[in-house]
Structure 1
């Protein structure tokens, strides 16, 4: 492992699912030891020891149970081969994403949107780091953007014009001081894909909730950055009615209560619904 520090050292299982670009029909699991450093993943089985350079990893994805067993897996692609890993330690996946993404140079636009409104913000160079439940972006201007993974409402991947070039962009919706913002990150295709996969694991995507007109109005007002205390006047509703709506949205998992009587903020799922409602206006 050289002088590089060890990020993770655990046991698990490994199976080749794609070989030379061809999907294999049967999974042949092998018990293994997984030793990960910032530059290398070593896979040790009874018959072999493989050294995988982190820079050679082209894709990492979190996968649900294979065959309906409910267990979590990671797929790791190197060239035209894809292996499935089933580590015994749950945090191994975060360590692997960190090894692939940490200190990668990216372009950052923050905020690209604020309260659903496009901002006049340019692209700046920066570096990415995976923290403890966060994506940390150090911008060359001296600013710092911390995205809490659990706070991400939506994450999208797109090709956009950046500096006159078509580049891969990851669009991350989250909050800053209670206001919905979008932070856009552009990087090499491999880095953009891995960042997207890392964030989408935790993204709240369920938006199938029945809301009446008053509830929609309150949700969109909060999404736009209106203070919870100003909502009654803003949407022209009685205070008691707004309190009733807050109770319902709290029970639906769309809001969280910041303090009693009564400040609230949208949860990721609530922001998803507000985004859809505004798009339909």
Structure 2
């Protein structure tokens, strides 16, 4: 591979032409192609042929071999094909992020932001933007008003046909919270292939946050404390903001810190990323 390699690790893989036990070999990724190379096997996948990426979902025919994988669907001369790749947890997670970045970074997108504020439709113009992907955010540059979206603040995501000025096409529409307000952003890529991949990435990070919060069960008072921590900001005593007995408030704060939703800092008690998601969901439900 002559171009610069951005990922290179040892893993197991299953791809066209492999029968029986999946081989162990090198997984190499550049900005143009993905290569799976074993002792007696090599599959080269042009990234321009990739139309879907799934993380953590093992194809049914491979369940007996793999636990967690990155599965890549792509087009070959003889039709469509699927390759499943498994590696160590840290390798496979890093590989998934790098793969999405290579597929999406620098691509052009039609953006309407905001398309809605709360439940109100906004007459925003559509602008072409350049997409920049990181693990935690999407940035839309090269438009009159560049903006970014923190993926931990996304509270819903859907794919639907919308007209962004070029006729009705599949568009990724996601709601996220900005400065205490639920905002909807609509993004249409230059092809259905890229639209599908972007949707997968947003859902992947949205699912990561939801999974972290699955075991968190909060009462009304606890949620009130989290919202108060968000509204008060640093340096403001929560005891002055919420109408809760001080001893009860201390107990609630300790429980929320143990849950990883709040953290004590030099500037006072503040929301963690997980705590902020819960507050964002509450704000989103109120604004809907």
CA contact (8 A) 2:72 2:82 kept: yes
CA contact (8 A) 1:153 1:204 kept: no
TM-score by length of 2: 0.71
Distance 1:131 1:155, change over 3 A: same
CA contact (8 A) 2:261 2:271 kept: no
1:161 matched to 2:162? The reply is yes
1:125 match? 128
1:75 match? 71
Deviates more, 1:56-65 or 1:129-138: 129-138
Q: Provide, for residues 30-78 of structure 1, a one-character-per-residue CA deviation record: whole Å limited to 9, x for no partner.
A: 2232221111112223333332110100101112577598853110101
1:53 matched to 2:46? The reply is yes
CA contact (8 A) 1:40 1:53 kept: yes
CA contact (8 A) 2:66 2:86 kept: no
TM-score by length of 1: 0.72
Give, in whole Å, the separation in 1 of the partners of 2:285 and 2:103: 36
Task: List gaps (5 residues or longer) in structure 1.
Answer: none
Q: Provide, for residues 173-204 of structure 1, a one-character-per-residue CA deviation record: whole Å limited to 9, x for no partner.
A: 3666x877554433233223322333444431
2:84 match? 84
Distance 1:139 1:214, change over 3 A: farther
Compute the RMSD of aligned alpha carbons: 4.0
1:190 matched to 2:193? The reply is yes
1:274 matched to 2:277? The reply is no
Measured after TM superposition, the shift of residue 169 of structure 1 is 1.1
Distance 1:132 1:198, change over 3 A: closer
1:250 match? 257
1:95 matched to 2:95? The reply is no
1:108 match? 111
In proportion to residue count, which structure has more helix?
Answer: 2
Give, in whole Å, the separation in 1 of the partners of 2:65 and 2:226: 38
Task: List gaps (5 residues or longer) in structure 2.
Answer: none
Give, in whole Å, the separation in 1 of the partners of 2:81 and 2:27: 18
Give, in whole Å, the separation in 1 of the partners of 2:263 and 2:125: 32
Q: Provide, for residues 135-186 of structure 1, a one-character-per-residue CA deviation record: whole Å limited to 9, x for no partner.
A: 3332411524263x5x34545222152325242214153666x877554433
Give, in whole Å, the separation in 1 of the partners of 2:154 and 2:220: 22
1:14 match? 13
Q: How many residues align?
A: 267
